[in-house]
Chains A and B, each alone.
Chain A
Amino acid sequence: MPERTVLLALALAAVSGLLGLLFPRRSPWGQRLTTLVAVAAGSLGLAGVAHYWQRGDSEAIVYPWNLLPGAEFHVLVDGLSAVFLVPIFAVFLLGSIYGLGYWRQAEYPDSGRKLRVFYGFLAAGMAVVVVARNAILFIFGWEVMALSAFFLVATEDERADVRAAGWLYLVATHTATLSLFATFMLFRAASGSYDLVPIATGAATPAMLNSIFGLALLGFGIKAGIMPLHVWLPTSHAMAPSHVSAIMSGVIIKMGVYGLVRMSSLLPLTVEWGVIVLGLGAISAVLGVAFAIGQQDLKRLLAYSSIENIGIVFLGLGLAMLGRSLERPDLVVLGLAGALLHVVNHSFFKSMLFLAAGSVIHATHTRDIDLLGGLSKRMRWTALAFVIGAVAICGLPPLNGFVSEFVIYLGLFGTLGADHHALVSAVAFGAPVLAFVGALAVACFVRAYGVVFLGVPRTAPASHAHESPPSILFALAVLALGCMALGLYPPLAVLPLGQAVQAWAPDIADATADLERLVPWQPLSTLALSLAAGLAAVGTLLWTQLGRSRVHESVTWGCGYQGGTPRIQYTSSSFGEMLVGLFSWALRPRIHLPFIKQLFPQESYFRSHVPDPVLDEAVVPGLYWSANLLAWFRVFQQGSIHLYLTYIFAALLVLLLIPQ
């Protein structure tokens, strides 16, 4: 039974960090033991999932749990849980190994043990979220995840900017939780219990269902980082240690996606919801990557790119929801399978990119890409991992990102000509949007890769960079192999995806068979393999044929100009200037440059950066405004515990007095 294996694995994950506390601060053995247990937990969890896919013999585990009325310890692995368990355990396992080199106990004696405790809790909490079948257990796992992530973001809490990022995250995640409390309360009112079972059509009023869905979209949307609810995401991803950023971007934000996927499987869907999710996806995808092009902080750039990818996932999910409400099983299968495959793919390549970024930071101690350059010669393997991740995230063949985007494309094109319903055909406009996003992603990642790894080093730290230790490279290598495996042999994904779609839409007769029929899996695999083989063959043939004797070395041709310095290289801002200009209505870039007065201007400067307008111009002023408005409320906030207890008592009394 996979449930027992998964529960055992998540229990191991939860205690892995605690075991490290048994060792003294200075000893490396605590971290080693933690990592060993984490690897065991991760492998066990993955084995459980593999077993589920092979045998499919899941069986609910139910224990009474008298924490709250309606609470129950009810755990079940189904197709959807299984797909989300893969990134949870895989990234947790690899992140722990990566931590051996990146966050060594000897280097960080103060924060290392705390980090690993919460790292373990985080993985356990997420695993509970995806296997829980009771809303209260779900919220329990959700809060363990959300709070552990807060402590992880605030790992270096001696720094003011890290604390600020932590608070921002905490505010956002509490807002999400509040919204989820409301969601599940309404859900219980509609369905009669906290069990996560489908609400029958007609069991609740449309207004009730719309409220449930709206609140779920808000709560899960904040966690997923969908625009414009993404305000917490870039800063906290940038400030956290890189293996934490990797699990945040690769897995935590996917819990928002999971929540929405699970919730949408329980409610009778309407066309409007599908359109809303699709629209939010399109906005997030385009603006996410546009913001990424404006960033100079490598990790902020990757964070915005996560918003883009969540947008792509939402495109697929919205399509599936639309397909379900319009009874088009082909759209359901393609949309949801594409979205879920993109979830898994993104967890692989985005974790890899964050880990590679961490490797760069480890070597150079800066996240500013305009201070880097030429790292490809100094950190050969990190650079290779980054380029693999970049090709994959741009959705280019022969790697895995292409496959999931291809499936979503097929779904979007599939809406054409159905019955000439204008709405359905309008959905097809998602295809050009996705094409636009794909091209922008190429621009974004060529810029990131080129400025960080190619050319010559712009500053001393970049020229003194060194390759990272093997534990870091090992994690990168495994993720790279994952991207290649799913890209070169996509049929691997058919069965897990089919089961997941089946779990989401039980009314489809045979989702796996549909998926097999609708997507040309075998040709995709042949294409990827022959493309890879062709590149390797032509490359080897040509460059060995040419021989070493006929190759001369020289400096880069400066078009006649001899006085080049590293500083004349194209920078990240100049590379993105035209695209940032095209999107200036949304990005609102800030440009600082002096007004030139004399005929022979003296030393000058130019600075440009792209802040987050939603945070700076909407959320923060809005919060100040409401704080001023509610200042009178401070009368009640006296800071003494007994007063608060009195409030609680009074509130309970009032609630008891209200007749049922």
Chain B
Amino acid sequence: MHDPINTAIQIVVVLLLPPLLQGVIGKTKALFAGRMGPPFLQQYYDLFKLFQKDSVFSTTTTWIFRAGPVVALVTAFVAALFIPMGSPRSAVSFVGDPIVLAYVLGLSRFFTTSAALDTGSPFEGMGAAREVTFACLAEPALFLGLLVIANLTGSLQLDTMLGTVTDHWSTEGASLALVLTGWSIVLLAENCRIPFDDPNTHLELTMIHEVMVLDHSGPAFGMILYGASMKLLIFSALVVRLLIPLTGQGPWLDWPLFIAGALVVAVLVGVMESSMARLRLTHVPALLISACMLSAFGFVLLMR
């Protein structure tokens, strides 16, 4: 806790901002479709309502099914504390924290997919299989990007890495642009957005994330939605901070700047979803492998 004010702001932002991102995506999509769309605050209402509701559990399930949503939410929150947002220091930070970030999210994946298999439903098994498969390809893309940034900044601490990486846009812009593209693809994949997964589809056979949580209801489902939104914030923050430097004028300017950046990412995701269709499932690995390759080329460029 180097900086109590920024830490407090970060905790508040991590807790309050994520549902708004979903609202912005929804509004953007509605705008493109010529609809009114749900209000910006829709997911706050949804979460509030879900936490009031009763739960239905399948008789097949065990404690894993109940643990899944808890792990998803807690790990997303813990991971978000490592991410530098609107301040030069993130709330928690030590050497090697990008690795911690990836593995804490891995823990979440282990338990959410196990919870899906716990129901014994073939649909949820299908979703779990897809989730773990695509994660295998998204993970190297994330790490190759980290390699580039670690190499440029000489640090292995997320806040230092992302705090100083923007200085290198003028000299190593090509590498960073490749990483930015790679990471944007990872953002869409990890958060199950189009072109990887369609959160609005109603055909279980084609879904990934949504089909894994078919059996969750009430507060458990609320925790899953909330955790997923936090994960969106985490990846948006990585992209935003890779692109936009902080002003260094103190929290009162930097935090609004960061939040605006995250909202712009949400708008872009919405634009993306409105302008293209979901990829055929068999083509998804190809896109993820190209994300890895982009970041790998970014690294190779540095070694020239």
Contacts and interface: CB of A to CB of B under 8 A. Distances in A.
Interface stretch (A90-98, A103-111, A254-262, A438-446): A438-446
Interface string B118-137: 11111111101110110111
Contacts of B156: 410, 413
A550 interface: yes
B125 A575 contact: yes
Contact of B56 (A422, A432, A553, A568): A553
A520 B214 contact: no
Interface stretch (A227-235, A395-403, A472-480, A609-617): A395-403
B104 A397 contact: yes
B5 interface: no
Given A534-B78, A569-B120, 13 more contacts: A395-B106, A396-B103, A413-B96, A426-B303, A431-B146, A454-B64, A523-B94, A535-B74, A553-B58, A555-B58, A569-B125, A570-B126, A574-B129
A515 to B, nearest CB: 13
Interface in A391-414: 391, 394-397, 402, 405-406, 409-410, 413
Contact of A569 (B107, B122, B143): B122
Contacts of A566: 120
Given A394-B106, A416-B147, A443 B57 contact: no
Main secondary structure of the interface of B (DSSP, over half): helix
Contacts of B60: 374, 455-456, 555-556
Interface of B: 54-62, 64, 66-67, 70-71, 73-75, 77-78, 92, 94-96, 99-100, 102-104, 106-107, 109-110, 113-114, 117-126, 128-130, 132-133, 135-140, 142-144, 146-147, 150-151, 154, 156, 204, 214-215, 218-219, 223, 285, 292, 296, 299, 303
B223 A435 contact: no
B148 to A, nearest CB: 10
Interface stretch (A159-167, A345-353, A576-584, A585-593): A576-584
Given A556-B58, A578-B133, A431 B117 contact: no
9 A-B pairs with the lowest CB-CB distances in the bound complex, closest first: A570-B125, A450-B117, A455-B120, A443-B132, A556-B58, A523-B94, A435-B143, A439-B136, A439-B139
B106 A439 contact: yes
A542 B103 contact: no
Nearest to A408: B99
A177 to B, nearest CB: 38
A531 B135 contact: no
Contact of A546 (B55, B73, B102, B214): B55
B106 A557 contact: no
Contact of A394 (B66, B110, B126, B151): B110
A557 B60 CA distance: 11
Given A416-B150, A432-B140, A551 B119 contact: no
A376 interface: yes
Contacts of B70: 535, 538-539, 542-543
Contact of A432 (B114, B125, B147): B147
A405 B75 CA distance: 19
Contacts of B136: 436, 439-440, 443, 579
B185 to A, nearest CB: 15
A577 to B, nearest CB: 7
Interface residues on A, range: 35 or more
Given A435-B102, A535-B74, A454 B114 contact: yes
B59 A554 contact: yes
Contact of B129 (A387, A416, A435, A575): A575
Interface in A407-434: 409-410, 413, 416-417, 420, 422, 425-426, 428-429, 431-434
A185 B211 CA distance: 62
B151 A446 contact: no
Nearest to B292: A432
A449 interface: yes
Contacts of B102: 435, 438
A543 B164 CA distance: 43
Given A450-B125, A454-B118, A570-B122, A432 B107 contact: no
Interface of A: 373-374, 376-377, 383, 387, 390-391, 394-397, 402, 405-406, 409-410, 413, 416-417, 420, 422, 425-426, 428-429, 431-436, 438-440, 442-443, 445-447, 449-451, 454-456, 519-520, 523-524, 527, 530-531, 534-535, 538-539, 542-543, 546, 550-559, 564, 566, 568-570, 574-579, 582
A439 B135 contact: yes
A438 B135 CA distance: 10
A395 B128 contact: no
B303 A550 contact: no
* Central interface residue in B92, B95, B99, B147, by most chain A CB within 10 Å: B99
A396 B107 contact: yes
27 contacts: A374-B120, A376-B62, A391-B110, A406-B96, A416-B150, A432-B296, A433-B140, A435-B102, A438-B103, A438-B106, A439-B139, A442-B113, A442-B135, A446-B113, A454-B117, A519-B96, A527-B78, A527-B100, A552-B57, A553-B57, A554-B56, A557-B58, A559-B121, A559-B123, A566-B120, A570-B126, A575-B129
A422 B303 contact: yes
Given A377-B62, A394-B110, A435-B139, A531 B103 contact: no
A420 B99 contact: no
Given A394-B110, A578-B133, A551 B57 contact: yes
Nearest to A535: B74
Contacts of B67: 535, 539
A435 B143 CA distance: 7
